[in-house]
Amino acid sequence: MSRPLRSARWFEAATRMGHTHRQRILQAGFSRGDWKGKPVIAVLSTWSELNPCHIHLRERAEDVKRGIWQAGGFPVEVPVMSLGEPFMKPTTMLYRNLLAIETEEVLRCHPVDGAVLLGGCDKTTPGLLLGAISMNLPAIYVPAGPMLTGRWRGKALGSGTDTAKAFNDWKAGVLSDAEFHEMEEAGARSPGTCMTMGTASTMTSLAEVLGMTLSGASSIPAPDSRHRHMAVESGRRAVAMVAEDLKPTDILSSASFANAIVTLMALGGSTNAVIHLVAMARRAGLPLSLEDFDAASGRVPVLADMRPSGRFLMEDFFEAGGLRGLLSRIDDLLDLSARTVEGRSLGQAIAGARVWNDEVIRPRENPLQASGGLVVVRGNLCPDGAVLKVSAASPHLLRHTGPALVFEGWADFASRVDRDDLPVTPATVMILRNCGPRGVPGMPEWGMMQVPAKLLKQGLRDILRISDARMSGTHFGTVVLHAAPEAAIGGPLALVRDGDLVSLDAAARRLDLLVDEAELARRRAAWVPPEPKHARGWARLYAEQVLQADAGADLEVLLAGPRNPEPEIN
């Protein structure tokens, strides 16, 4: 190592505190030969028994540490907040920025020279990467990997997607209680993240194309032995990155984010990726806007025939060639000179990649959809934009005008949606508001409002839905999300009344409230902002600081000014 190690400020100082640091690391059971003169690599683990997607990360941390030892580094495992999508309420999105803060500060305040980040479940990927970008030490990401395909009565089950379909069938009386419970037990049968192209697999795929993982890392199923091999190699590579001083800002560029957007479209990936990519780009000091996504939407075909947009699941995707295979089919749309944690270009990382199953990863001449996996719509109902996943929507609803049925929040929606007297028809446009970044706060995945029971019993499975909330990447339907500005700060969604006509034209990228401006001005003058829900703690800080969805829903204070200085050591 030709340049001084950052950790040496703690361990090599001939001071009283230097003595204390050495004494305490010896107290932990390590010998001088373990750490002296070696790069210290923090292994940030999001393992938790309340995060089943990460239940194997204890083992993977050991694999990573083995690689670090092999390469001549000193691994130290450091737990950070685990954002487990299934159990955290009201939403893990409320805590994405808290994980980002924790990641940044854990790396800043400790004697570490680089980091390996272990995550995978939806918000852990952006949370860990946001913090690592802001701290800007050499860092590599290890995705948790998708779980095995669910199997039930000869059918493949995909998380979220098939759960939602089964739930609708159960509510409609198509499935019995016993059948529904049997299906529950068969749907998630191994460690790992959702095996659909939901937010987890979308974000780990984007972490890879951004250059923050080893090539091919994002597609390996969690239980596969090759996942362990990847973890070991990531540990080895982290040590080399410290020697090379290869940091996130050396890797991330406008080109790498443009590559990520193209990949998002080709995957038919999660709408949540829009918010996360904008936030990550801004942390790296790079401009990124909703227009960048819509521009890519018009020229990139959807090639991954993956649920919820298509038919297959992540095991199929991995065996068909994985992300590297997909990227080989859109390489002319990518900037192949973009850098990666491997110390080589993206083009070099995917050289020789092939697709082994044209049904799962389709050829360009036979796409799942010719363009527009995700589109951005604007209009007087969302002047700062909203997002629609066209690839998972019902074509007949992509141009639709109907009367609004307004719900003031989740409690209102849940209390009325299954009532027999709910004034809803197939033409209705369901509006859910006060569920944006500040409204709850945290912008939960409530935008995937279930279809009312009375329509399910009639055989209907989709209806136009609009909200300032988010939606799980595993779900489907004609759902307009992230309407900005949100209702809780006086956005136009706050002005809609039952019976108002709402018009969506996805092809024209329009979403409009068909009410004259004079009437809207009267409603705006009479609008009263909702009272804050939290008087103290993180939720209050979040609500006071959070930016809108189109700005990445990051905290304003985390984007202000230069990076914080290194800590003083007495």
Does residue 1 have a pLDDT over 60? no
pLDDT band with cut points at 50, 70 and 90 for residue 20: very high
The alpha carbon torsion through 569, 235, 116, 73 (nearest 10 deg) reads: 0
Q: Which residues pair with 502 in a beta bridge?
A: 402, 513
CA 343/CA 483 separation, integer angstroms: 39
Residues 475-502 as b/e (b if ≥16 CB within 10 A, e otherwise) read bbbbbbbbbbbbbbbebbbbbbeeebeb
Of 301, 306, 348, the closest CA to residue 329 belongs to 301
Q: What is the DSSP letter of 563?
A: P
Quickly list DSSP for 39-71: -EEEEEE---TT-GGGTTHHHHHHHHHHHHHHT
CA 513/CA 500 separation, integer angstroms: 7
Q: What is the DSSP letter of 341?
A: T
pLDDT band with cut points at 50, 70 and 90 for residue 173: confident
Bridge-based pairing state of the strands 386-388 and 479-481: antiparallel
Q: Which amino acid is located at 213 in the chain?
A: T
pTM equals 0.95
CA 399/CA 90 separation, integer angstroms: 32
Note the pLDDT tens digit of each residue in 434-446.
Answer: 999 999 999 999 9
Q: Which amino acid is located at 462 in the chain?
A: D
* Average pLDDT rounded to a whole number, residues 421-444: 96
Does residue 41 have a pLDDT over 90? yes
Does residue 26 have a pLDDT over 60? yes
Which pLDDT does position 163 carry in this prediction?
79
CA 124/CA 110 separation, integer angstroms: 21
Q: Which domains are assigned to the chain?
A: 38-148+191-292 (3.40.50), 151-186 (no CATH), 375-526 (3.50.30.80)
What's the CA angle centered on 222, arms 216 and 223, to 5 degrees? 120
Tokens representing residue 168 in the block: 């609708």
User: Are 490 and 438 contacting, i.e. CB atoms less than 8 angstroms apart?
Assistant: no
User: Are 173 and 285 contacting, i.e. CB atoms less than 8 angstroms apart?
Assistant: no
Which pLDDT does position 2 carry in this prediction?
66
Q: Which residues pair with 504 in a beta bridge?
A: 400, 511
Of 137, 100, 141, the closest CA to residue 119 belongs to 141
In the predicted model, what is the mean pLDDT of the chain?
95
Note the pLDDT tens digit of each residue in 516-540.
Answer: 999 999 999 999 999 888 999 999 9
User: Residue 346's Cα: distance from chain center in Å?
Assistant: 22
Long-range contacts of 2-6 (CB under 8 A, 24+ apart): 3/245, 5/37, 5/39, 5/40, 5/113, 5/242, 6/111, 6/112, 6/113, 6/137, 6/566
Note the pLDDT tens digit of each residue in 93-117.
Answer: 999 999 999 999 999 999 999 999 9
Does residue 225 have a pLDDT over 80? yes
CA 556/CA 551 separation, integer angstroms: 10
Burial label, 444 (beta-carbon count in 10 A; 0-12, 13-18, 19+): buried
Q: Which residues pair with 271 in a beta bridge?
A: none
Of 300, 276, 285, the closest CA to residue 249 belongs to 285
Of 286, 478, 480, the closest CA to residue 392 belongs to 478
User: Residue 422's Cα: distance from chain center in Å?
Assistant: 34
Q: Calculate helix-pair angle for 57-70, 225-244, nearest 10 degrees.
A: 50
* Average pLDDT rounded to a whole number, residues 121-126: 97
Three-class secondary structure of residue 140 per DSSP: strand
User: Are 112 and 38 contacting, i.e. CB atoms less than 8 angstroms apart?
Assistant: no
Of 115, 112, 123, 114, the closest CA to residue 86 belongs to 123
pLDDT band with cut points at 50, 70 and 90 for residue 185: confident
CA 337/CA 327 separation, integer angstroms: 14
Note the pLDDT tens digit of each residue in 540-554.
Answer: 999 999 999 999 999
**Sign of torsion over alpha carbons 46, 217, 201, 196:** negative
Note the pLDDT tens digit of each residue in 47-67.
Answer: 999 999 999 999 999 999 999
Note the pLDDT tens digit of each residue in 289-317.
Answer: 999 999 999 999 999 999 988 999 999 99
Burial label, 215 (beta-carbon count in 10 A; 0-12, 13-18, 19+): buried
Tokens representing residue 282 in the block: 């801004």
CA 338/CA 345 separation, integer angstroms: 5
User: Are 52 and 86 contacting, i.e. CB atoms less than 8 angstroms apart?
Assistant: yes
